[in-house]
Chains A and B, each alone.
Chain A
Amino acid sequence: MRILDDAAVDGNAIGGLLIEIFGAEMTTATGTCGSCGSVSQVAELSVYRPGLGTVVRCRVCDTVLMTFVKIRGVTCVDLQGLASLTR
């Protein structure tokens, strides 16, 4: 498990965003990293918000699991880094 610094928050912080996208509470959903296979709840993932959007990374191998970018009122969602996301 990587130690996070203050640049990161965690998946709790994107609960509202995920409700907007998935229409359901997702912080307790289980994500599997497509790179290292580690399994954790969304609330436990590391989250970075560099201004343009939101980047969610694996706590073990730091792979980008999800990105969310809002452009002209449309949120673009990329879940390519996840092997699975289960609620």
Chain B
Amino acid sequence: MRTLRLEVADWPGHRAGQHLDVRLTADDGYQAERAYSIASAPGEPLTITVERLDDGEVSPYLTEEAGQGDEFEVRGPIGGYFVWEPAFGGPLLLAAGGSGVVPLRAILRHRVRTGSQVPVRLLYSSRSWEDVIYSSELDCPPEGVQVIHTLTRSQPPAWTGYARRVDKEMLAEVAWPAAPSSSGGPLAYVCGPTSFVESVATGLVGLGYPADRVKTERFGATGQ
């Protein structure tokens, strides 16, 4: 896992939750392109957090080879659906599977920078404590933000938190109570592997969340 700071000429600024595309071109012209969520809040230096995938075409370069001053093609910012603005209200339920936490981190930072008081719960599913991204940042959340971890494969000694995949019972305990769509009510952002997002989004709708208050971003099997 690596967080990279990018300098993009004429970057127009982004919204919390958006992503960008990185395109690499080999000497023979072969191109590989991948989408990466933006990890920083609007107005902060532009950063992405990249998980290294062993069979990846782009992530090994970004996590191991790219160095200061190296250049590659970037397209963005991209997306207008999985974004949050303070005016959207809340309370917010953020649910992350693995590196799905990256755009949610941008939302958390945007909330602080804009002075929003909206209450937030972040439910973050990781395989083990070592896999938790931004752990030091999430250990000391700002006022009004609760971070609830679940560690699905291995847990540190004396772990008292959740130790299983997110299920309906966990959502019923963690999620804000649902409210009718007409009154606004809780707003959920769910990001992670497709199977994670499907199970959380279905669970939230089962708890009474209107489908249009559950924003989803799925990135397939193994991460972005």
Residue in A10, A16, A28 whose CB lies within 8 Å of B218: A10
For chain B, which range describes its interface: under 10, 10 to 19, 20 to 34, or 35 or more residues? Answer: 20 to 34
Residue in A6, A8, A12 whose CB lies within 8 Å of B81: A12
Point out the residues of chain B lying under 8 angstroms from A13, CB to CB. Answer: 35, 218-219
Looking at B33, B79, B219, the one whose CB has the most chain A CB atoms below 10 A away is B79
Residue in A3, A10, A16 whose CB lies within 8 Å of B21: A16
Q: How many residues of A contact B (CB 8 A)?
A: 22
A9 and B220: CB pair below 8 A? Answer: yes
A41 and B219: CB pair below 8 A? Answer: no
Is the CB of B181 closer than 8 A to any CB of chain A?
Answer: no
Encoded as 1 (CB less than 8 Å from any A CB) or 0, chain B from 153 to 181 comes to 00000000000000000000000000000
- Could you tell me the distance between the alpha carbons of A25 and B79 in the complex, rounded to whole angstroms? 7
6 contacts between A and B (CB under 8 A): A4-B198, A6-B194, A9-B218, A10-B216, A25-B78, A27-B81
Residues of A within 8 A of B (CB): 3-13, 15-16, 19-20, 25, 27-28, 41-44
